[in-house]
Structure 1
Amino acid sequence: MRSRVVDEQVVGVQIADVVTELKEIRRGRGVRSDDLHNRVGRALRMACGITGIDDPALVRRKLVLQLTHLSARLPSDLDLAASVALGLHKEADGGFLDQRIDWLATRFDRDPRTARRRVDSAFQLLAELLYDVGMRDRKSGSYSPDGWYVESLRAALRLDLDVPTLTEQRQIVAAVDELDELVLSLSAPRDQAMPEEGPEIRAEIAYGGEIVEEQRVSSGHTRFVVRLPSPLSLGQRHDYSIKFTSYPRSWMRPYYVFTPLRRCEGFSVRVRFDPANPPSRVWRINGLPSKAFEDFAPGEDRLHIDRVGDIALEFHDLQQGLSYGLQWEPPIR
């Protein structure tokens, strides 16, 4: 009987219902309203994975994260319009709706009526995205339990250097208020023929924070505590870049993978091999269980190295606990 009721609720929701619920949410202080949990309708509950046992703080958290995530898919002007109207925008989240609309009109250099029409357009598109999510019945477990998730990760691995470097640029989203530090980690397994002792994993922040603590877990795994420039509020995005170095290239095992342990929307990587001595074969690793690729069986998805030694890959909708990246066969000597 329970599953039958859920099916009836899903069928009964229309995009127009989602628009109506968004307009209800934007009243007053928007997502910052004290009574927000009482104003979230069934369409938004389904799209955001909100259940009947969630407390008000968790309802707000799930709603803000989903609205922030989906609004970012809109054109930039409509993303701004939706964010301001809902009270998600950091610079315009303190006032009531009329004040936020006035702020938006000033930002667009238009009159308030034009700003409201822009909000209506944004809500229509946002409602379509929310409706699609609700139909897929996404689970709330995709939200990071420890304060933040990764919206995008871009990595550049230099294997043409004697000591390889890995540079990451990440955009993260805070899943809690007052998030002021991150714990990052890197595993760099060594070839079994190489000594356990030797150079350690090092990291340097290019922008977006500072490393305040290093924790060497093992010879091939180090954690870094990064303090952010200022605390993030729930749903706020933040960009940072970090560069890792470790030991000589000859010590490295022939693969590079990213295994997300939290929600990650997109991952891209560009690897530069030594063009004078490239691998004999390279193949994609696309969602394999952790460590399964170490059997070193060449995959069917072979990759081509361009004439300067580069390979570029993209992955979307990554699953937590699975590995994504590439593996290669060392050059024939």
Structure 2
Amino acid sequence: MRPENSFPFVRELNELRRGRGLDAADLHQRIGPCLRAACEIADADQPAAARQKLVLRLTELCGRLPPDLRLAALAALGLHEEAAGEFLDRRISWLASVLDRDPRTARRRIDLAFRRLDELLGTPARERDPHPLTGWYVESMKAMLRLDREPADLQEERRIVAEVDELDELVLSFSAPAEPGRDPVPDITADVLFGGEIVEARQVSASHAQFVMRLPSPLRLGQRHEYGIRFAPRRTALRPYYVLTPLRRCEEFSVRVRFDRAAPPSRVWRLNGVPGRVIDDGVDSGDALTVNRVGEVGLEFHELHQGLGYGLQWSFDPRED
């Protein structure tokens, strides 16, 4: 068992949770040396920059905790939207009511969460793209593509994290490459299932569309939000792949494709971080996938690299040996 003095981050986290937590006006003065190093906070950083680095790093690491410990850490630090702005005793009372436990148990849950954060903060931070799209990032994304119906139907559910205060709108992009000479009229539509509303649609080209989605309420720095959206590319034929090419940070991605069982593809293969040209050329990666008996294939990816493609590709032509 580790002695108490071997948890340097716990001591500094306990200092930060006092008062209004990470909403405190003097937050930049209360960030300890260990947290400054772990969050890459420089002496020259202004208070707003120091707060942003700290909040985003702690929000990311809280996301790796089990649900009850994640809730405890977010409440203790004042990062949970339902407990933000309150003093520590009120945040602990709120946590106890949500957990259906007494305040003493809630405090023990916070202590355990901080110890887990101590372990995570001691590991190197993930590499960041030197030229990222800012404002928000995708913590997790789930996609379901139905090819067993006409027209094809794609539903996506995403959990995002705000990287700025007062994040009010998201610009969402979707591409459905047209078959040359077969789809002269572009027609890509989107419908929000939950978590926002489309306020503007832009057909950038015959293959690419952008949609501006307004959120139910502005997000705070570090706040999570979930939304679901359905895209409908009205095409006479779709290219034989489904790929996510993240232009902003994306930590987890899972996809499930349901094929028509009456006419399944002859081959399906995984695309795990490949350039766009490889996808366009239709080169079999050799990482074969099996369509199950209900016509589905499912995949998961973690810590995706921006600008590379992740997903699956298929062919209806038999392999030539």
The TM-score, its normalising length taken from structure 1, stands at 0.88
Residues of 2 paired with 1:235 and 1:42: CA distance?
A: 22
Aligned-pair identity (%):
57
1:245 aligns with 2:245: no
- Please identify, of 235-244 and 56-65, the stretch whose mean Cα deviation from structure 2 is larger: 56-65
Structure 1 Cα separation of the partners of residues 20 and 126 of structure 2: 27
In the alignment, what sits opposite 1:276?
Answer: 262
Q: Give matches, 1:1-333, under 5 Å.
A: 16-132=7-123, 136-139=124-127, 141=129, 145-195=133-183, 197-248=184-235, 250-331=236-317
> Could you tell me which amino acid in structure 1 is paired with residue 52 of structure 2?
R
Question: Equivalents in 2 of 1:140, 1:27: separation in Å?
Answer: 30
Contact (CA 8 Å) 2:269, 2:289: kept in 1 or not?
A: yes
Contact 1:143–1:263 (CA under 8 A) maintained in structure 2: no
Judging changes above 3 Å, is the alpha-carbon distance between structure 1 residues 300 and 27 closer, same or farther for their aligned structure 2 residues? same
Structure 2 residue ranges without an equivalent (≥5): none
Deviation of residue 199 (structure 1)?
4.8
- Aligned-partner Cα distance in 2 for 1:162–1:111: 54
218 and 22 in structure 1: CA distance in 2 versus 1, 3 angstrom threshold: same
Q: CA RMSD in A?
A: 2.0
Report deviation, 1:255.
1.4
TM-score (norm 2): 0.91
Q: Report how many aligned residue pairs link the two structures.
A: 314
- The C-alpha deviation readout for 1:131-179, integer Å capped at 9, x for no partner, is 12xxx24345589543111111100111122321111011111111111
8 Å CA contact retained: 2:129, 2:306: no
The letter for the 2-side match of 1:183 is V
